Structure 1
Amino acid sequence: MTTAVSYLRTSSKTNLDGDSAPRQRQAIEEYAQRNGIAVVKEFYDEAVKGADPVDARPGFQDLLDYLAGNGARVILVENVSRFSRDLIVQETGHKLLQNLGYELVPVDAPSHFTDDTPTAAMVRQILGAVAEFEKAQLVAKLRGARDRKSRALGRRVEGKHGYRVSSPELIREAKRLARKSPKTGKARSLREIAAELAQMGHTTANGQPFSASQVQRLMEAG
């Protein structure tokens, strides 16, 4: 039987005592029963706006932490708007989940994210163009900064090539901490890994612990 987790969201505190959460839960449970899916855990973001990025939501961060150490790969939501009401956030959030190997299913329209509709294609193309533009801008800024520093030092200064080159021990520790315990068979959550890395002195450039999505990328680094 396929296993999945469910994700619920209400956008304001006034919804907390209303019908929103029970309605979402019922729709997900009915879909799961019809399709032979076992919902193993529920995650709920209370009073979280639909335009908020998914990786900035506490409940969704907990969901990602759970999936990283669990066999479930499917996320069920009542409809697309429960995931996000913002089209850009929908597409970027879905892309994040795709890259992590997870499937997002709105139970009222299960093929929404797999249909190649003109709107979805347009948004993906726009996002791709924006990402390419931003990357080109960043590369140009970094190149200019290196050129200025090189002139000041009288020697060529080259840029960093990511943690894989600049901090291979960080990659090794992240992957070590992600392994399941030989005694219990359980794995640490992404947040637990980030906390332990911080205790070892491995933090972001701002001195903060890595986010769950950053830890996931560290573990996937070659």
Structure 2
Amino acid sequence: MGGKRPSQMHKRATGKAAVYSRVSTKTNAKRGGVQRQSDASLHACRQQSLKVALSVAEVVSGSLPLDKRGVFQKLLHDCKEKNIKKLFVESTRAVARDANVTEALFQLSKKLGVSIIPSDVPDLFVHNPNPAQKFLRRVIAAATELEKNLAVQRLQAGLQLKLTLMKKAIANNEKFIGKKPVAMTQYGKAKINGRLSILQKIKKSGKLTSDMRLKIKRECNKYEKGKFGLRTLAETLSKALKKKARLGPETARRMVAEIKIV
């Protein structure tokens, strides 16, 4: 047939390797960030005929200081203990988004004899770099940190603008900013981030009737007067909201303050 023999198509693994993947939020994990990083690292392992003996993924900010990166440090120590010499990552971003932390983890890997290998720049963390390699490692780490800092700056500027508009709308008793409803915390302050509360969701859907609001206020008043505790309040509010599952005590406590402004 002229095709390749199996021995030519699949090289037998000749050594061990580890794989590390990191995303900063659970949302990124759900969107496939971990799987994408893992696939890139596994492909790099196969190219070097290595078998993955250890695989670790975590949801943690890459901007955290070294003492908060215990999982990665433990992984390096585990690699040394299991005699795994190569640790594959998708890119520098997976290691850290802070240049100092990136350098500290590199120095630890060097001390333990474990090579960190980004699939996009395999020689970036070589343990005995020439001057050009050392320069490139530090430049890329600094560029990764700069990219992160600029993104954070843009986000903070956007949130500040949104907060200013939200406060103005609340002061003017406006219910919408453009087509978006004005969101407030249970304490009546502008809410610019996070999910809507249960009460806000019901109100937004148009299902918060005057009768339902009255029942909630009545039960919250009873709680504030000490007639029953949070567990009973959670149960009565669940009935008033027609929820199938009972609300948690903490949710019920927040609703006591929130019902006064919703």
Task: Pick the structure with greater CA Rg.
Answer: 2
Which structure exhibits the higher relative contact order, with contacts defined as CA atoms closer than 8 Å and separated by 6 or more residues?
Answer: 1
- TM-score with structure 2 setting the length: 0.43
- TM-score with structure 1 setting the length: 0.50
